Copies of this chain bind each other. A is one copy, B any other.
Amino acid sequence: MKILYGGDYNPEQWPREVWEEDYAALGLASIDTVTLGVFAWSHLQPDQDTYDFSRLDAIVERAVEAGASIVLATATGALPPWLAHEYPEVNRTDFEGRRHVYGQRHNACPSSPVFRKLSAELAGRIAERYAGTPRLVAWHVGNEYGGACYCDLCAAAFRVWLRERYGTIERLNEAWNATFWSHLFSDWEQVVPPNALSEHWRGPDHTAFQGITLDYLRFMSEAMREAFRDEKAAIRRVSDVPVTTNFMGMYRPIDYHRWAADLDLASWDNYPPGPREHARMALAHDLMRGLKDGAPFWVMEQTPTITASRDVNPVKRPGVLRLWSWQAVAHGADAVLYFQLRQSKGACEKYHGAVLDHAGRTDTRSFREVATLGSELAALGPAVLGARTPARVALLFDWDSWWAAEMMDGLNRHVKYPAVVLAYYSALWQAGAGVDVVPVTASLDGYDVVVAPLLHLLKGDVADRLEEVVARGGSLLTTFWSGRVDEDDNAFLMDVPGPLGPVLGVRVEETDSAEPGVVNPVTLPGGLVSEASLVFELLVPQGAEVVGTYGADFYAGTPAVTRNRPHGPDGGEAWYVGTGLDAAGVGAVVRQVLGRHGLVGPYADLHDVEHAVRVRDGERYSFLLNHAPGPVEVLAHASGTELLTGRRVEQGDTLRLEQTGVLLIHEDR
């Protein structure tokens, strides 16, 4: 039992004799896991009536022989040519209303009956054939679900979905505020998908009717989930091995929270957009871990060297692969997998990094780093496996708010939901606070602090539950643009921030906006001046205390940040940040909030040094990760054993972390 180590392996692309070379090399890297068959549909089923498992049999057989743990795909990540040719309706119709013909991948219309039938059938046949494979550790359904289809089949399914959601056309019209711009529908048939040919202009974020577009996003996310469920059901009939599909972290098109219940374990593909995204990766890990109530997740894909899909694809610097892999483990990953084990020879990923390059070399820097990490993971063995991540801070993440905020007309298009969430997460991360990233439906009982950046759309009882957090002495921190709209994206017909007003003790009278680069200095406690930008809400306290004030424009001297104590000085606190504070400003607010609960960590003052903890059966594993651009020295916060070196560490010892350095301290009990 150990952390799984390996990745996608597609040996059908090269001759049988190379397989031997592959396994020899992978052994050198302590690789023990292979993901097979992700894009195998076209060789598994060469036409509608023929299934041919010979190639996959050989591949699986060789993997079994090598003693590898096996992740087996249902092979539906891309359509085979014959299917697209014989049934054109399986191809998607895009946002521009154009029916596609065959190409690329992730190309199936989720509403197509033929696709649904054949994909589930394929999944079932694979499951039947390989359910008994030794060391089969997971089923991998589809691949990176995403995108959208706007075809007539989807339109029809959308109408069915709407009818189920709303019951009557009157309720639909109300939800969409359809009387605006003469949109009162008199029949479900009149509804068309919102795209470039109907409600949209400029692109997916510009819609005349936010309510329609919001519902289509929900519908499409659900339609793909249905397709996933079909395949899972086909597997479940013959196998109890866990089923997953690889998610993509903060990925807008799919509401992963809605999908989470259908996964047996969460997994995701970690391709950060740049070299300095440690906080963003940590946030994504925590978001993925939050899908299954904190259970360990898998990194299903990462690249050993370069990613092939960007305009510019630099190599990972020395030590970065190891650092980022351990970061994943620190945040709860029990598998560290690559895309892919050997490079493809042709097509658009032929330069995507792989454990083995086109020449199959094992004497390269990249391979050596993969092998070093492999030996460390092997040496670690079962330690940390299954360990959970303790957290007293919850950060609310909400796809509905994301969708609603970014398609909103009227305030500031430069505000992006993930950027605001990341700003607050980064401050928590730098402060060393363990964070659970959870949906708004999650229980908040166990948390001292709830941070809800840009909680734009309020649904269900979330306002009440946030009030309860404060009522029981906890802290709530939320920001501008929160509490604006209900589940239908209709404005609350009351003071902003709507149902959050009472707990926050403030109302927003005006919302000013500015182009990026325009700054209003906001003075915070202790004299810190934060350069606020983009959004400037003009606040009128309704009981709240003013914590920060604007320094410029006609509202100079008025509140920008407030704190409410609705239950008196001894009760909880509700913070409201009405403007786009800079990182220093967010950091100051966050630390004040954490401080009341003693949640600022021991390494909080070391910039870009990450401290993360996993706990199992009372055993406490502390990860120290140096993301800073040079070595740092830290004073150990606890005594224990550093597991990567086996050395003892005493509390107060000076520990040196090289650039990209990692320490894993098994703390004394």
Q: Which residues of A does B touch, CB under 8 Å?
A: 10, 12-14, 39-43, 46-47, 75, 77-82, 84-85, 96-105, 176-187, 189-192, 194, 196-201, 207-211, 305-309, 311-315, 317-318, 343-352, 358-361, 364-366, 408-414, 485, 488-496, 509-515, 554
Contacts and interface: CB of A to CB of B under 8 A. Distances in A.
A12 B42 contact: no
A578 B306 CA distance: 18
Given A345-B491, A494-B358, A510 B313 contact: no
Nearest to A311: B413
A102 B180 contact: no
Given A182-B78, A313-B411, A313-B513, A192 B347 contact: no
6 contacts: A10-B180, A80-B184, A177-B346, A210-B348, A351-B411, A361-B495
A305 B510 CA distance: 9
B181 A346 contact: no
Nearest to A13: B179
A85 B358 contact: no
A491 B346 contact: yes
Contacts of A176: 346-347
Contact of A182 (B42, B47, B178, B210): B42
A179 B189 CA distance: 41
A650 B459 CA distance: 64
Given A81-B186, A350-B410, A493-B345, A39 B180 contact: yes
Nearest to A352: B410
A182 B105 contact: yes
Given A98-B197, A207-B348, A358-B494, A177 B13 contact: yes
Contacts of A81: 183-187, 190-191
Contact of A190 (B13, B82, B197, B360): B82
A510 B312 contact: no
A103 B184 contact: no
Contacts of A306: 410-411, 511, 513
A160 B343 CA distance: 32
Contacts of A13: 177, 179-180
Contact of A103 (B198, B315, B411): B198
Contacts of A413: 311-312
Nearest to A75: B182
Contact of A510 (B47, B84, B364): B364
A509 B98 contact: no
Given A347-B177, A409-B308, A42 B105 contact: no
A191 to B, nearest CB: 8
Contacts of A43: 179, 182, 184
A78 B183 CA distance: 8
Contacts of A490: 345-346, 350
Copy number in the complex reads 3
The 7 closest A-B pairs by CB, nearest first: A351-B410, A177-B346, A103-B198, A308-B410, A42-B184, A81-B190, A78-B182
A77 B411 CA distance: 25
Contacts of A408: 351
A198 B103 CA distance: 4
A180 B414 contact: no
Contacts of A208: 103-105, 347-348
A459 to B, nearest CB: 15
B494 A346 contact: no
Given A180-B346, A312-B515, A347-B176, A197 B101 contact: yes
B101 A98 contact: no
A519 to B, nearest CB: 14
Contacts of A211: 346-347
A182 to B, nearest CB: 4
A287 to B, nearest CB: 26
Nearest to A76: B182
A104 to B, nearest CB: 4
A511 B78 CA distance: 30
Nearest to A359: B495
Contact of A98 (B96, B190, B361): B96
B182 A312 contact: no
Contacts of A80: 182-184, 186
A42 B183 contact: yes
A199 to B, nearest CB: 4
Contacts of A46: 184, 186
A14 to B, nearest CB: 8
Contacts of A183: 42, 78, 80-81
B197 A100 contact: yes
A271 to B, nearest CB: 13
Nearest to A366: B510
Nearest to A187: B82
B78 A181 contact: yes
Nearest to A12: B179
B510 A350 contact: no
Contacts of A348: 207-210, 409-410
Contacts of A351: 408-411, 491, 511
Given A184-B80, A190-B84, A198 B102 contact: yes
A81 to B, nearest CB: 4
Contacts of A184: 42-43, 46, 80-81
A14 B75 CA distance: 52
A211 B350 CA distance: 12
Contact of A346 (B189, B210, B361, B512): B210
